[in-house]
């Protein structure tokens, strides 16, 4: 799909969509509960649908109507196939749950997804004599996983910790989970702990980055409404730095979502050329690069892990920004974006099949005009994103 933009300014009010990050976690917690749960306010993005599919593979029955899901755990026979589409969260969250079984499970997904780092789980399976095998049809794993001490690298992704935090309470004995620093994306880990504890899980912090988790736990049923998504909200809110006037509603100012920090970062970009550490906020990096380019510049640090996202995010953004006259110097763990007067691209810019890249480039093209290819990437987290920004007055035609 191609999105064709004409220069335009955004104005009006828009409600933040429901949080994809919390939807993943609340759906999985409901699958591990004793009784049926109800989760309202779901947005059925591609990533959330992947988690729904994998929750059904665990044996849960899920009925969804008007954004509300009714989850009945253990209502039908589990499946050995976990279809993850392009969702890294889904893959990493469900893999330890599949390892609870003594039968083989197969995880499928896009080529890019299955090539993303999984070394933490590979090492875990090798050390414990469990199956972890990459095949042409997907990733094969087989348990059963037993309780014990789990020491996990924290410098790749907090998603591995989240996956284990869901699985360890289900084991037959007590386990200890220890994160080996340095740690990235800790706000996401805190969200997982919050969801689990609200569902009645016993997880004791027994030291810095160390948790003791009793076994044989079953969670309580959940009746929750998914809160607004700060990660997605960052994109319509960015129009306020490009001449627009947009009010984004439906956000909890006390949310545990780490990306709410963008409200503190945007004024710094408006006033100067800040240096911003992005280890914990990789989803904000593309829009920070766009805003740095059209304002006063920006330096991002801790960017090495951007290479492991839906695209090589730093390189992808540098390539596309160059088409609009914005230069970026991409280093091993640092990106410098130089300010410029952006112009319309002479060739289409490309999303690199990355939803965050697509949304960030839409903000730039609203100033310059131009074409964005593979615009359908937004379906991963915000399926009606273009309709949403069109409601604000952004002139964009989908072809």
> Could you list the active site residues?
283
SS3 204: strand
CA distance 97 to 27: 13
Tell which residue, 142, 81, 92, 140, has the closest CA to residue 116.
Answer: 92
Handedness of CA 74, 52, 14, 391 (dihedral sign): negative
Query: Which value, to the nearest 10 degrees, does the dihedral of the CA atoms of residues 153, 53, 311, 167 take?
Result: 0
Non-local (6+) Cβ contacts of 173 within 8 A are: 146, 147, 148, 215, 216
Q: Are 220 and 199 in contact (CB under 8 A)?
A: yes
For residue 322, CA distances in Å to 24, 138, 288, 312, 339 come to 35, 36, 15, 16, 11
CA distance 317 to 246: 24
Give me Rg for the CA atoms of the chain.
21
By the 10 Å C-beta count (0-12 exposed, 13-18 middle, 19+ buried), 1 is classed as middle
């Amino acid at each position: 799909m191609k999105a064709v933009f004409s220069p335009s300014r955004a104005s009006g009010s828009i409600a933040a969509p429901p949080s994809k990050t919390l939807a993943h976690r609340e759906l999985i917690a409901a699958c591990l509960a004793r009784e049926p749960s109800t989760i309202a306010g779901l947005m059925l993005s591609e990533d959330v649908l992947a988690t729904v599919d994998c929750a059904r593979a665990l044996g849960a029955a899920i009925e969804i109507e008007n954004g509300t899901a009714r989850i009945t755990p253990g209502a039908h026979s589990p499946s050995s196939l976990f279809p993850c589409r392009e969702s890294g969260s889904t893959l990493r969250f469900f893999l330890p749950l599949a390892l609870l079984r003594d039968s083989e499970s197969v995880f499928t997904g896009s080529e890019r997804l299955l090539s993303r780092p999984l070394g933490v789980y590979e090492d875990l399976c090798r050390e414990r004599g469990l199956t972890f095998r990459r095949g042409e049809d997907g990733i094969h794993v087989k348990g059963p996983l037993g309780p014990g001490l789990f020491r996990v690298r924290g410098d790749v992704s907090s998603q591995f910790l989240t996956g284990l935090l869901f699985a360890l309470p289900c084991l037959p004995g007590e386990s200890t989970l220890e994160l080996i620093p340095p740690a990235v994306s800790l706000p996401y880990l805190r969200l997982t702990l919050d969801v689990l504890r609200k569902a009645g899980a016993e997880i004791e912090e027994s030291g810095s980055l160390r948790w003791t988790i009793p076994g044989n736990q079953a969670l309580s049923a959940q009746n929750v409404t998914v809160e607004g998504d700060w990660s997605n909200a960052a994109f319509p809110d960015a129009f306020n730095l490009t001449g627009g006037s947009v009010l984004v509603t439906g956000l909890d100012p006390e949310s545990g979502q780490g990306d709410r920090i963008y409200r503190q970062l945007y004024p710094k970009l408006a006033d100067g050329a800040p240096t911003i550490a992005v280890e914990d906020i990789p989803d904000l990096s593309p829009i920070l690069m766009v805003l740095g380019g059209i304002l006063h510049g920006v330096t991002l640090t801790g960017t090495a892990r951007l290479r492991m996202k839906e695209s090589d995010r730093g390189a992808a953004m540098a390539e596309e920004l160059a088409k609009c006259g914005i230069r970026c110097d991409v280093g091993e763990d640092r990106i410098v974006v130089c300010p410029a007067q952006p112009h319309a691209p002479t060739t289409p810019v490309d999303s690199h099949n990355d939803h965050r890249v697509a949304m960030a480039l839409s903000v730039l093209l609203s100033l310059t005009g131009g074409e964005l290819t593979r615009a359908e990437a937004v379906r991963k987290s915000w399926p009606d994103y273009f309709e949403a920004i069109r409601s604000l007055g952004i002139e964009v035609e989908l072809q």
